[in-house]
Structure 1
Amino acid sequence: MADLRLVFSDLVRFQIELWGAVETRLRAECDLQLTWFEVMRLLDERAGCRVQDLAEEFGITVGGTSKVVDRVEAAGYCRRRANPDDRRSSIVELTASGRRVVAKAAKVFDDELEIRVGSVLPERSLKQLAKTLADLRAAYRASA
């Protein structure tokens, strides 16, 4: 049987190393934090997101997500507008400036992922890794 402690250790440490490498590039080339990029990327991909939708996607609290959105909004990269379907919530959308920044940052993000992951693992292994991680996340969410 696999040593689950070792699996945990390797998984967490690689996540930290990968996050650090991507964050370093994004800050240097785009003056953007990875946390902000993740929010902005999702806003770019999905129209009509609420803070709650972002929180659910990232598996963090609405309060924590709202603070990140506040900072991205203060930087001029997104704005909130009234939700026509629910007056209790607002829709978060990228500004023109936010769309430009996320487009540039996406290239940096993709390049760094290719360097750190794509060029290391063959396509078959990448597909298996993606499936394994999706299975683990689904099992966790089902048990939570």
Structure 2
Amino acid sequence: MSDRITWLDDLIRVQILLWDRVDARLRDAHDVTLARFQALHALAGGPARVGDLAQRMSITVGGASKLADRMVTLGLLAREPDPDDRRASRLALTGAGRDTLAAASVTYAEAVAEAVDPVLPPADRDRLHELVGRLLTRLGG
């Protein structure tokens, strides 16, 4: 039992440490939080409703709505009519949002590489990605 507790605790600590490191780099370089970066990345494929954004980010609809509101205010996202439901709107990247995503993606990749690459060779990174993907699939994420 305690091995599973330690394992999960370690996994959570790794996530927090990586989050803090990448978030700090994005804030310093682009004045964008990691959560905002994730929202931009989640909408890179095209406009989506708030509920879809929440699902893609694994956050609550209320959290996604508040995040979207702040990003609209910052000019990173825009609300546009939903062609499938005239009562609803969709979130879309603005030009500033696309520019921020492009620049911040480089910083994000560099921050992750600096933290992970010295510790895990490419084969281990690939295996870790595979294992995490299996867990996400099983857990519905």
> What stretches of structure 1 move > 2 A for 4+ residues in a row?
none
Partners of 1:83 and 1:121 lie apart in 2 by 44
**Partners of 1:85 and 1:98 in 2: how far apart?**
24
User: How far off its partner does 1:88 sit?
Assistant: 3.2
Distance in 1 between residues matched to 2:100 and 2:58, nearest whole Å: 24
**1:28 paired residue number:** 28
Which secondary structure state, in structure 2, belongs to the residue aligned with residue 66 of structure 1? helix
1: CA distance, partners of 2:115 / 2:125: 12
Structure 2 unaligned regions, length at least 5: none
Structure 1 unaligned residues grouped into runs of 5+: none
Question: Which residue does 2:86 correspond to in 1?
Answer: 87
Inter-partner Cα distance in structure 1 for 2:133 and 2:63? 24
DSSP-derived class of the 1:130 partner: helix
Is the contact made by 2:42 and 2:57 (CA closer than 8 Å) also made in structure 1? no
- 1:35 counterpart letter in structure 2: A
Whole-angstrom distance in 1 between the partners of 2:97 and 2:47 = 16
- Measured against aligned partners, the alpha-carbon deviations of 1:37-95 in whole angstroms (never above 9, x if no partner) come to 10011212x11321111111122211110100000110011101000012232111111
CA shift for structure 1 position 128: 1.1
Deviation at 1:120? 2.2
Provide the residue aligned with 1:16 in structure 2: 16
Between the aligned partners of 2:83 and 2:98, the Cα distance in structure 1 is 23
1:64 counterpart SS class? helix
C-alpha separation in 2, matches of 1:119 and 1:64: 35
- With the length of structure 2 as denominator, give the TM-score of the two structures: 0.93
* CA–CA separation in structure 2 for the residues paired with 1:39 and 1:118: 25
1:54 aligned residue: 53
Pairwise CA distance, 1:124 = 1.2
State the match for 2:3 in structure 1. 3
